[in-house]
Amino acid sequence: MAIQTILIYPDDCLRQVAAKVEDPKADSIKALVQDLADTMYDAPGVGLAAPQIGVSLRLAVTDTDWKNGRYEEAEGAQGVRNLKVWINPEFIWKSEEMASYEEGCLSIPEYYEEVSRPAVVRLRWQDLSGAFFEQDFEGFQAVALQHEFDHLDGKLFIDYISPLKRNMITRKLKKHFK
Ligand SMILES: [Zn+2]
């Protein structure tokens, strides 16, 4: 178990385009997934992307179930957590229909803003065995996945809000965390 430091915006690593994971089966990738999971549950958050702990690779973890109350019920009870690992994720289709949710980010603490994104997405990704999967996601899962995978392209949810609000958040976080 290794809880890592979560980088806070405007850290440069959060703005880089992450590199493809060449060998999902590598021990180093398994260790990275463990660190991401430990750090996400400790925060606690519903998702964490590798660039948020300073590793510029296309990999993220999510657990959107605890948001629905399962995580709290599972406190101390191993095995009920529903950790998902996403390696080299790629959206191959997004709906024209949009949906709005209030989003936050572990790298932008204490700020929450309404963001509009495609309501349904079709994702292709790999797991730790290197196998490929394809599935449609909607609702909160679609939001969480789009938010997390934006991190792999150096994008943040504040990029979707007005420049005025974004500049205010940037100024305040610079003051707090530098
Ligand atoms: Zn985030």
User: Domain for residue 38, yes or no?
Assistant: yes
User: What are the pLDDT digits (tens) for 6-33?
Assistant: 999 999 999 999 999 999 999 999 999 9
Q: What is the pTM of this model?
A: 0.92
User: Domain for residue 5, yes or no?
Assistant: no
Q: What is the mean pLDDT of each run of 10 residues along the chain (178 residues)?
A: 92 96 98 96 92 98 70 50 94 98 94 96 98 96 96 97 94 82
How far, in Å, is the centroid of ligand 1 from the Cα of 131?
26
58: β partners: none
Say how many domains are in the chain.
1
Report pLDDT for 67. 53
Backbone angles phi, psi at 86, to 5 degrees: -120, 115
How far, in Å, is the centroid of ligand 1 from the Cα of 112?
11
User: Domain for residue 72, yes or no?
Assistant: yes
Report pLDDT for 156. 98
Report pLDDT for 64. 83
User: Domain for residue 2, yes or no?
Assistant: no
How far, in Å, is the centroid of ligand 1 from the Cα of 146?
10
User: Domain for residue 161, yes or no?
Assistant: yes
Of 101, 36, 93, give the one whose Cα is nearest residue 63: 36
Q: Could you say which DSSP state residue 66 is in?
A: G
> Where on the phi/psi map is residue 65: left (φ > 0), alpha (ψ -120 to 50), or beta?
alpha
Q: Is 134 a catalytic residue?
A: no
Domain that holds residue 98: 12-177
Which CATH number does the domain housing residue 101 bear? Answer: 3.90.45.10
User: Domain for residue 78, yes or no?
Assistant: yes
Report pLDDT for 175. 86
Report pLDDT for 69. 43
How far, in Å, is the centroid of ligand 1 from the Cα of 44?
12
